[in-house]
Structure 1
């Protein structure tokens, strides 16, 4: 069995965490490629109550796989390999070549207002002109705005989602997700038939942080998933920019706090693009 087939079949059981898949891959390369040995290794790290379900799903996972990319494939982005707990597998729909482009993640609050819209409308067309691919999480609010404006200006965008590719969340983004699958790239580490769960989205955020070269936060409250993504990006040595806002607005608190903690203030698109071009030598 190839390493790609092993990763895919482990993922399809929906019983094995990403970290355990990576540990099993280590066993594959360093100890044995025997299937019985590898399955026994997995079961050693699963609760006993899950053993029967794991073997049942393993035996059912031999059907034709969806399109996927593994950690060991040449097309897997090197910058994503370097993050903590890199995804062992990414299911995808769209153009994988976009993973090799210069990228800027644009994220913000789901409850964003006209201020985020103004920032995105001013920034994204300039990113498109400079052939920089945008990345976001296809959530309502800032994420959707980023993806839609990118497509409106015939740019390329990558959406990283917190459920499988056969679900559309939120439901109102069904058409937008289909557009991105056709014109850009949609990624998920979750196998088919995986519904969105609240704890999947912080996991999704590490992939956004790992894929981007630079990240911009438009608006964020004091406690939000947006700030989690920004912190992850800082940990991975990405350039993090935050849009300053009025201290009287709760949606500005997170950005102002990021700036106070060392993030670069986003003041205009040109400065941001020049910094990214210098970073990527483009």
Structure 2
């Protein structure tokens, strides 16, 4: 792994190490030039890595099979690391930014503004598409990038709206490109790779795991000017993304509905707690007009 970026990609795929530890290593050894020469005990003492973690890490640092996998992926995908100029500036300032991003599709979309993340329940009500049709078409026609997680329900609808209106869309996955989830979205994945962008912080051969989905939510909100919740039940995983967005200083929007609709109780609660009520695209576009200059100058 000759270059710094390749070493970061390699370390990020090793067992026994966290993103936080890799960032710490970079402060001690900015080129990561010595880590491959360290013994097991030196890894433990220098970076405070427990022996049970240091052993698999030391093995993976010198595993030729793993290195061959990485070389294959470097030749197959566009891979961005946190030290690359092309890495999205908006992600560098969030808490625990992804160190490595695997991409398929048009990477230039990452530089396009404004971007809005669309999230919501995997089991939407019969009114969900009508709500989205009130807000999304004009935003897409005004060249907003639509970002979501390619899950069932609202996420899939969001990407489909963007594609239908010839807009730009980014899908952030909870697993690697060789393990598309849900399987029913394989065709959607293929289309987004051709007409938009798909990205994941997980290597292509990494299957999705339950904890990946809340983890990837920080990227969905982090790439966006704001997050719009279409529908969410009172106790919903969607609210994790909302918390991430608030923590990152992003705008949060919600579509209201009758209190008798279970799929919208979460949205109504969010509005009570200060999220901006959205019933038209102008509700979001006005905020962008006011905040555009600050957003652009910030990055």
TM-score range, shorter chain: over 0.9
Structural mapping, 1:196-275, within 5 Å? 196-275=208-287
Give, in angstroms, the shift of residue 178 of structure 1. Answer: 1.0
Q: Alpha carbons of 1:231 and 1:132: their partners in 2 closer, same or farther (altered >3 Å)?
A: same
| 1: CA distance, partners of 2:15 / 2:135 | 39
How many residues align? The count is 281
Deviation readout 1:184-227 (Å, 9 max, x if unpaired): 11111111211111111111001111110011001111222210
Q: What TM-score, normalized by structure 1, do the two folds share? A: 0.92
| 1: CA distance, partners of 2:125 / 2:16 | 39
Is the CA contact (8 Å cut-off) linking 2:146 and 2:168 kept in structure 1?
A: yes
Are residues 1:53 and 2:64 paired?
Answer: no
Deviation readout 1:164-200 (Å, 9 max, x if unpaired): 1221100000010111111111111111211111111
Deviation readout 1:14-57 (Å, 9 max, x if unpaired): 54322222222222229x63233678676555443344433333
Are residues 1:23 and 2:24 paired?
Answer: yes
Paired position in structure 2 for 1:75: 86
* Structure 2 residues not aligned, in runs of 5+: none
Q: Secondary structure at the match of 2:260?
A: coil
Structural mapping, 1:49-128, within 5 Å? 49-58=52-61, 59-60=63-64, 61-63=66-68, 64=71, 65=74, 66-101=77-112, 102-128=114-140
Q: Alpha carbons of 1:9 and 1:274: their partners in 2 closer, same or farther (altered >3 Å)?
A: same
Q: What TM-score, normalized by structure 2, do the two folds share? A: 0.87
Paired position in structure 2 for 1:3: 4
Tell me whether 237-246 or 114-123 shows the greater mean CA deviation. 114-123
Is the CA contact (8 Å cut-off) linking 1:98 and 1:156 kept in structure 2?
A: yes
Is the CA contact (8 Å cut-off) linking 2:178 and 2:205 kept in structure 1?
A: yes
Paired position in structure 1 for 2:34: 34
| 2: CA distance, partners of 1:37 / 1:258 | 52
Q: Alpha carbons of 1:35 and 1:227: their partners in 2 closer, same or farther (altered >3 Å)?
A: same
Q: Alpha carbons of 1:199 and 1:42: their partners in 2 closer, same or farther (altered >3 Å)?
A: farther
Give, in angstroms, the shift of residue 151 of structure 1. Answer: 0.4
* Structure 1 residues not aligned, in runs of 5+: none
Q: Alpha carbons of 1:156 and 1:42: their partners in 2 closer, same or farther (altered >3 Å)?
A: farther
Is the CA contact (8 Å cut-off) linking 2:15 and 2:53 kept in structure 1?
A: no
Q: Secondary structure at the match of 2:159?
A: helix
| 1: CA distance, partners of 2:129 / 2:38 | 50
Please report the RMSD computed on the Cα atoms of aligned residues, expressed in angstroms.
2.1
Is the CA contact (8 Å cut-off) linking 2:135 and 2:279 kept in structure 1?
A: no
